[in-house]
Amino acid sequence: MTYEMMLVFGIVILTIILFVTEWLPIDVISFGIMVTLLVTGLVTPQQGIMGFGNQATMTILGLMIVGIGLEQSGAIKLLGKHIQKLFNYPLWLAITLMMLIVAIVSAFISSTAVVIVFLRVFIDIAPKVKVNLSKLLIPLSFAAIIGGSCSLMGTSTNLIVNSVAENLGQGNLAIFEFSGVGAIFLVVAILYMIFIGIRLIPARAKQQDMLEEFNVDYYLTLLKVNANSKMIGKPVIETNLKNDEDVELLRIYHSNGQARFPTDNEIIREGDQLLVKGNLDKMKSMYHSEGVSFVHQQKSKQEFEHQKENEQVLCKVLILPNSRLIGDNFQTAQIQNNFQAIPLAIQKKRQILKRKFSEIKVEIGDILLVSVNKADFHRFYNLPDFLVLQEFEEFDKKVGNKWVAIGILVALVLLAALGILPIMVSALTGAFAMVITKCVDMQRAYREINWGIIFLLAGMIPLGSAMSNTDADSFLAEQFLYFLGEGSPSMAISALFIFTILMSGFISNNATAILITPIAVSIAVKSGLDTKPFLLVVMFAANMSFFTPIGYQTNTLILSPGNYKFRDFVLVGGILTLIFWALATVVIPWIYF
């Protein structure tokens, strides 16, 4: 083992540790990898920045814009409406049809976008059809994951594997070349879900009043600053409103009619009305000691209002993957000033947190209970940072014509499938058509694009090049084959599948694909076998992270809305993972060897 090889392995191990522990955001880790590889000379300057201009990166960017166009134009929403009709049938048939439809759609557009739209639909219809929400969301997520694996454009992972293989001199996969294998996985998954999986999923999601669900036991109160108040003329930071752990100032209504989210330096004036959240006894104490009087007081079991023009809308919002809040705590994010919303409570991985918001870090899949001024709610409802979990159809902001957007998608797929244009060119053409036909609002699109994936590819693709430059991939392939001994191709497929799927359960599926693909190619070449089945193993295994809620973004998104526990994924997804492992061991060698 050479020094350069050891250095690459050290970077890979550190990368995996950072991904698993989440000490730093993924895009920061990836950028750091790129810089480290350049500084150490493990890649050339051209290789170091090739991730930004890689075909997979540009294809993914184009497909993101196409997906945003389908979402903004209401095309995906249209499909979500028709899904409701399925639940007029028996539950097993409804779930079968739902999984089929979701998988087919996810083969062409982002599975995350599909799950986000259908999530809101299911939250709305679950009480009406008397089906517990948790019974629907795991099948939804799993179908989206499998569907995305069934075509080259269905998921960024497939595009990455194909691109890395091309860079290593291997063949180019056609857009639907492996859809038949994916269809076998899908049929088995549906049969498993309707006969076994649905019975293993607990009916854990609760349909109840939002404030009861979040266990809100504090008081929301309006306090008026009297003429004799000790707070007059002082900034907020010097008052008990800032320094007392049991009381939190949410908003100030100044006597001149201004309503402001308070900063530390906001000056308290006579006649101001203060919207305060906290312990009732502490507020009573302030009544006597701080020179304030109660204007409006109620336990938080009802919506509150100040004046007619300040009427509030109470809603639950899900933190989406591209949210500006991710990685910040609430103090840094300043949700009040940036989004004109008052955070009241937060649900993180089934736990209702009651600490001060400034102590809580925001993550994908968190659910916030917020209060928004009624006049601001239309704008808030369409922000790309959140998914408001109640449906307000009158507030949906549609851009362009949904049928035009669908036509562009169909044309894109046909151009790529018939070989008229390479998939990258057809994806960028489709994105441009979405912009020209105004199916995409580019200002919103800039905020909805998941730039984290772009930076992930920019950093991780050079790491794959470093493994090839130093023969680290060849070394690992040799160790892999030595471990298998004189095993058959089926054993190699089986071992590679389970290793990849376990790895993708704890780090990004895209990162897993970039790290494993060069090794998979080397295993095939050293064994004298066709590389194609080994590439398919990486594609399917890297995508199919069913056994944890963190391995794939759609699982993370449904964790809190479905009120799932980690063990639900381990049980339901773990059994499906074992079934798929056995299936891959039999089906892929049977087709290709």
Look at residues 395, 415, 447 and tell me which one is the last residue of a structural domain.
395
CATH number (domain holding residue 288): 3.30.70.1450
Shared-domain flag, residues 67 and 200: yes
Each residue of 162-192: pLDDT tens digit? Answer: 988 888 888 788 999 999 999 999 999 999 9
Assess if residue 211 is contained within a domain. Answer: no
Greater model confidence, 352 or 458? 458
Q: Could you write out the three-class secondary structure of 33-98?
A: HHHHHHHHCCCCHHHHCHHHHCHHHHHHHHHHHHHHHHHHCCHHHHHHHHHHHHHHCCHHHHHHHH
Shared-domain flag, residues 165 and 61: yes
User: What was the pLDDT predicted at 251?
Assistant: 81
User: What was the pLDDT predicted at 307?
Assistant: 39
Cβ-based neighbours of 10, under 8 Å, separated by 6 or more: none
Shared-domain flag, residues 417 and 559: yes
Assess if residue 212 is contained within a domain. Answer: no
Assess if residue 8 is contained within a domain. Answer: yes
Look at residues 349, 366, 395 and tell me which one is the last residue of a structural domain.
395
Q: Is the pLDDT of residue 290 over 90?
A: no
Cβ-based neighbours of 382, under 8 Å, separated by 6 or more: 395, 396, 397
Average pLDDT over residues 9-19: 90
Cβ-based neighbours of 485, under 8 Å, separated by 6 or more: none
User: What was the pLDDT predicted at 303?
Assistant: 38
Q: Strand, helix or coil at 313?
A: strand
Greater model confidence, 540 or 2? 540
Assess if residue 329 is contained within a domain. Answer: yes
Assess if residue 442 is contained within a domain. Answer: yes
Greater model confidence, 562 or 580? 580
User: What was the pLDDT predicted at 519?
Assistant: 92
Greater model confidence, 205 or 300? 205
User: What was the pLDDT predicted at 312?
Assistant: 67
Each residue of 52-108: pLDDT tens digit? Answer: 888 888 999 999 999 999 888 888 877 777 777 888 889 899 999 999 999 999 999
- Choose among 358, 355, 384, 386: nearest CA to 370: 386
User: What was the pLDDT predicted at 357?
Assistant: 67
Look at residues 253, 271, 299 and tell me which one is the last residue of a structural domain.
299
- Write out the E strands in 366-495: 367-373, 386-388
Each residue of 476-525: pLDDT tens digit? Answer: 999 988 888 777 889 999 999 999 999 998 888 888 999 999 999 999 99
Average pLDDT over residues 287-303: 56
Q: Is the pLDDT of residue 279 over 70?
A: no
Which tokens in the block code for residue 201? 């999923």
Shared-domain flag, residues 179 and 246: no
Number of residues that make up the chain: 593
Each residue of 581-591: pLDDT tens digit? Answer: 999 999 999 99
**Among residues of the chain, what percentage have pLDDT more than 90?**
37
pLDDT grade, residue 356 (50/70/90)? low
User: What was the pLDDT predicted at 149?
Assistant: 94
Q: Is the pLDDT of residue 35 over 60?
A: yes
Shared-domain flag, residues 238 and 187: no
Assess if residue 173 is contained within a domain. Answer: yes
Shared-domain flag, residues 193 and 89: yes
Domain extent, residue 245, equals 218-299
Shared-domain flag, residues 267 and 161: no
Each residue of 440-482: pLDDT tens digit? Answer: 888 878 888 888 888 888 888 898 889 988 999 999 999 988 8
Shared-domain flag, residues 410 and 517: yes
Strand order in the sheet with 341-348: 351-353, 341-348, 367-373, 312-319, 386-388
Assess if residue 305 is contained within a domain. Answer: no
Shared-domain flag, residues 224 and 343: no
CA–CA dist 490, 492 (Å, integer): 5
Shared-domain flag, residues 316 and 242: no
Q: Are 339 and 380 in contact (CB under 8 A)?
A: yes
- The number of domains in the chain is 3
Each residue of 296-348: pLDDT tens digit? Answer: 444 443 433 343 444 667 788 999 888 888 877 766 666 777 787 877 778 88
Which tokens in the block code for residue 449? 């694009």
Q: Is the pLDDT of residue 386 over 80?
A: yes
DSSP structural state of residue 375: G
Shared-domain flag, residues 442 and 582: yes
User: What was the pLDDT predicted at 344?
Assistant: 75
pLDDT grade, residue 214 (50/70/90)? low
User: What was the pLDDT predicted at 223?
Assistant: 79
Q: Does an H or E element contain 107, and which?
A: none
pTM over 0.75: yes
Q: How far is CA 256 from the centre of its chain?
A: 43
Assess if residue 306 is contained within a domain. Answer: no
Shared-domain flag, residues 178 and 283: no
